[in-house]
Amino acid sequence: MGTFEPGALVRLRSGGKTMVVKHSSSISQLPDTLLLLCEYRAKKRLVQGFYAIRDLIPISGTPGSERS
């Protein structure tokens, strides 16, 4: 299992939105967890959520090039 760097693009293994990994300092209340904070845009809103690392796969590209 690889590590996900802040700013990296990821997607759920089952498909779905392209998401950006958020910086780990944003989740100081969950220091030793297998959850990763990600965000994506949906209907002109910024959506944040925690996702299990095992359910994410890295994708290539830059954060500004994602499609909604």
The reply to whether 1 falls in a domain is: no
The reply to whether 41 falls in a domain is: yes
12 and 56 Cβ atoms separated by less than 8 Å: yes
Q: How many domains does the chain have?
A: 1
Phi, psi dihedral angles at 63 (to 5 degrees): -55, -30
| Closest-CA residue to 26 (of 9, 49, 43) | 49
The reply to whether 29 falls in a domain is: yes
The 3-state DSSP class for residue 21 equals strand
37 and 27 Cβ atoms separated by less than 8 Å: yes
Structure confidence by residue, pLDDT tens digits, 50-65? 898 888 999 876 555 5
- Domain hosting 30: range is 9-61
The reply to whether 2 falls in a domain is: no
The reply to whether 67 falls in a domain is: no
The reply to whether 4 falls in a domain is: no
- pTM: predicted TM-score of the whole model, two decimal places: 0.69
Structure confidence by residue, pLDDT tens digits, 7-29? 899 999 888 889 999 876 655 55
